[in-house]
Amino acid sequence: MPETLNHWIGPFIPAVLMLSIVIANHVVTGQRNDRKAAVEATRFSAALAAEMRAMLDLYKVNLDLIEQQANYLLSTRSSIAIYKGNLGRLAVLLEKPAIEHVVGVFAQNERIEAVVAAHSNLKCNLTYQFSQADTKQDEWKKMYERGSRSIISACQILEGDIGSPRAVGKAVPWRIAFGQLVDRSQGLGERRWSTG
């Protein structure tokens, strides 16, 4: 009896070993990629939060300049490098609420810059200079205050979202992956036996 059992099982042992090696390799590679994506998402979130905090500092300076009724404001466009250079990574590495808030903050910043630029002259891409007669400082103050609140909210979401890559990149437990592979191979084997 053991000889007949060995006769039937023996040819399948190399295939089972190869299959187990492939599964182990797939699981280890998937876990490594998930860790790499999580680290990259953490770093990207931290960089975006830092860039938005720098923009928030410029907003505070501009609010102080408006209070002092100065004839110039600082431009915030020149400090936006990480966001503009990584738009593709934004959609891949962040969750939906974080994406909505981050894009909203930078869109709001562009609107503020456009309104201020419409009433002033840009000097050296760093400041907007205007005459006191042509200013709408109350309107600008409200826009900068709303923008500040949006930045604070987006930074809080990013800091709470650090380390969680998009749902596609989340780790699938190895048991689920193994179960799916076994189910597929059983279905393939059943089709082969039924047709042959």
pLDDT, one tens digit per residue, over 52-81 is 999 999 999 999 999 998 888 888 887 788
Residue 163 pLDDT more than 50?
no
Burial of 150 (0-12, 13-18, 19+ CB in 10 A): buried
pLDDT at 166: 39
Which band of pLDDT confidence, cut at 50, 70 and 90, is reported for residue 30?
confident
- Predicted pLDDT of residue 110: 92
Under DSSP, is residue 181 helix (H, G, I), strand (E, B) or coil? helix
For the stretch 114-133, pLDDT in tens is: 888 888 877 777 888 887 76
The tens digit of pLDDT for each residue in 137-151 reads 888 899 999 999 999
Share of the chain above pLDDT 90, in %: 24
* Burial group, residue 13, by CB count within 10 angstroms (0-12, 13-18, 19+): exposed
pLDDT at 170 over 50: no
Q: What are the φ and ψ backbone dihedral angles of 131, each rounded to 5 degrees?
A: -90, 150
What does the pLDDT read at residue 162?
Answer: 43
Average pLDDT on 144-166 reads 78
| pLDDT of 42 higher than 90 | no
Does the global pTM surpass 0.75?
no
Q: Hunting for tokens 């002092």 — which residue is that?
A: 68
Q: Alpha helix locations (H) across the chain?
A: 2-9, 13-67, 82-85, 87-93, 96-118, 137-161, 174-195
